[in-house]
Amino acid sequence: MYTPEDPEKYIHMNFEGKRNAYGLPFIDAICSMDPESQNLIIYAHNMDNGTMFAGLLDYEKEEFWKEHPIIEFNTLYEKRQYEVIAAFRDRVYFSYEMVFKFYQFVDAIDEADLKRAEQAYKEKAYYDTGFELEMDDNLITLVTCDHYQDYGRFVVIAREITEDEA
């Protein structure tokens, strides 16, 4: 879901607009859909019963990544494939903390900005996937709560596979 005027509308709501503990996956309001941001940040709950984004936690293990390197992102209008390039734990930071905040990286300003993001992903990642980012790469960032620390998050970053690469 994408409701920039009410960013967390679907965090505890279903398609019918009724309260639901599961909620629905939603795109961060800082992302643009027209034109689309370079990095779509999508949030969903990590449910104890294994639903929603609970499966993201499996990407902590390199073996799981090797068996499941591709993520599909399907909408009503198209199907896309993304290759997982990094998986890591992080947290939501206070505004005064001067660190790379994965949840604020939406569009690279320039090559240096992109390389800062790449370096941060590589430093945080559980394993080396050998990726190198290019300015025309489109990313998807999947985020779920992870209670390893206060405001903890588990993050999976993936790069879109273009038709030329498919």
- Report the residue count for the chain: 166
In this prediction, residue 106 carries a pLDDT of 95
Closest to 160 measured CA to CA, from 129, 139, 134: 139
Closest to 105 measured CA to CA, from 92, 116, 94, 96: 116
DSSP 7-70: TTTTTTB-TTS-B-TT---EE-TTS-BTTBPSEEEEE--B-TTS-BTGGGGGGGSHHHHHH--E
In this prediction, residue 41 carries a pLDDT of 95
Mean pLDDT of 8-34: 86
Mean pLDDT of 159-164: 86
* 6-10, 36-40, 71-75, 105-109: segment of lowest average pLDDT: 6-10
Asked whether residue 148 carries a pLDDT value surpassing 70, the answer given is: yes
The terminus-to-terminus CA distance of the chain in angstroms comes to 27
Asked whether residue 87 carries a pLDDT value surpassing 80, the answer given is: yes
Which of the pair, 59 or 32, is modelled with greater confidence? 59
CA distance 33 to 31: 7
Are the C-beta atoms of residues 161 and 81 closer than 8 Å to each other?
Answer: yes
Which of the pair, 116 or 14, is modelled with greater confidence? 116
Mean pLDDT of 83-104: 94
Mean pLDDT of 37-49: 87
In this prediction, residue 166 carries a pLDDT of 59
Amino acid at 77: Y
Interval 107-147: pLDDT, tens: 999 999 999 999 999 999 999 999 999 999 999 999 998 87
